[in-house]
Amino acid sequence: MLVIATANRDKLREIEELLAGAGIDLAPLNRWPQYESPAETGATLEENAIIKAHGAARHTGLPAMADDTGLEVDALDGRPGIMAARFAGERATYGDNRRKLLGLLAGVPEAGRTAVFRTVAALCFPDGECHTVEGKCPGRITSAERGNGGFGYDPVFLVPALGLTFAEMDDATKNAVSHRGAALVRLRAVIADLARAGRL
């Protein structure tokens, strides 16, 4: 069994879809309602993913996975980066973060609105053994929100090759091209290796 260490319902749904058929039972973190997620004090996506995954593994006594995602916007010198979920403040909503981002990019021409979404996924065991993988998706920040699907920055993150924002894609298309999709394809390979070694 693998614990999915996130309290974000949108992220949980996406991870469950991406790991479906990986040959391992998945357990959402809400099965342990007393668990308090650790503070994300890392300086990198990798450090934060490990903090979350290892904390859940130690609490549950089971292997756990977590991811951390950052949005790096070139015109903002890489911001919001690891602060993507809290860009507009600790209690910011998805909409708050998007509005702040679009406000900071007001007047920036299309060619200067390039960005990269990055996800690092960590799979950790209670004994401290951890494995990490990374996925990236280059794109561009739109000047206005587009689409009704997805969550977070999806309505303003355009994948130029498809001409669509994440919020305009169906789930299967988004999962095939997204940063989280790329990371979890690699994580599935790690899971398979660990299963063959008898660790999962």
CB 176 within 8 A of CB 200: no
Q: Is 74 a catalytic residue?
A: no
The active-site residue, picked from 10, 25, 68, 127, is 68
CB 112 within 8 A of CB 74: yes
Residues 6 or more apart whose CB falls under 8 angstroms from that of 142 comprise 113, 155, 156, 157, 158, 165
Burial class of 145 by CB neighbour count within 10 A (0 to 12, 13 to 18, 19+): middle
Which residues are bridge partners to 81 per DSSP?
71
Enumerate the active-site residues.
68
